[in-house]
Amino acid sequence: MSTLSVAELQAQVETDLDNTTLQLIIDAVERDITEYVGPTTGYVYESDGDEYGEMIRLPAEASSITSVVEYTDAVHEPTKTTLAADDYELSTDKWWLRRLSDGTNTRATWGWHVVITFVPATDTNRRKQAAVQLARLEIVHTGYKSERIGDWTSQNADYEREKARILNSLDLTLVD
């Protein structure tokens, strides 16, 4: 199910495309968004934890941690441990996962590989607005760099550059 409805898109973008076509556009732009910033649920992040010591920076703000699996010992014969909730803590800003040394599976730093499954913080409104912008770009894009009819002339924005700009606005990984 889409985050953005056809009616919401029609309220913000003037078009005479039918609802089926608009739904296809919505599905495509929401797929682009998910591929760019990740899913809204069940985000799986793999990290080589040893480079961070006791902290791992998540690729998206988390609302909760579902599971953490840590690999220790040698790469060719790893020990795989599903950590207990008292083995780690999510920072107050929800971007960092700290390894706790006094939990069920005591260890001061992360193992050489860590798989974290978490629920990202809700960003529905940001995703919807980006979906509207991407759908609008898709709807108005003609494929021509410029058009001229009589005295009327129009130049279109660079499609790929504009699409990248919209998707980049969703990327919060550089924000501390």
Q: Domain for residue 53, yes or no? A: yes
Residues in CB range of 84: below 8 A, 6 or more apart? 103, 104, 105
Report the alpha-carbon distance of residue 173 to residue 176 in Å, rounded. 8
Are residues 92 and 107 located together in one domain of the fold? yes
Q: Domain for residue 92, yes or no? A: yes
Q: Read off the pTM.
A: 0.67
Are residues 111 and 150 located together in one domain of the fold? no
Are residues 83 and 26 located together in one domain of the fold? no
Q: Domain for residue 157, yes or no? A: yes
Are residues 105 and 150 located together in one domain of the fold? no
Are residues 54 and 111 located together in one domain of the fold? yes
Report the alpha-carbon distance of residue 36 to residue 168 in Å, rounded. 8
Q: Which domain holds residue 89?
A: 43-120
Name the pLDDT band for 175 (thresholds 50, 70, 90): very low
Element (H or E) spanning 33, and its range?
helix 19-37
Contact yes or no for 156/76 (Cβ under 8 A): no
pLDDT in tens, 67-124: 999 998 877 788 999 999 999 999 999 999 999 999 999 998 999 899 999 998 888 8
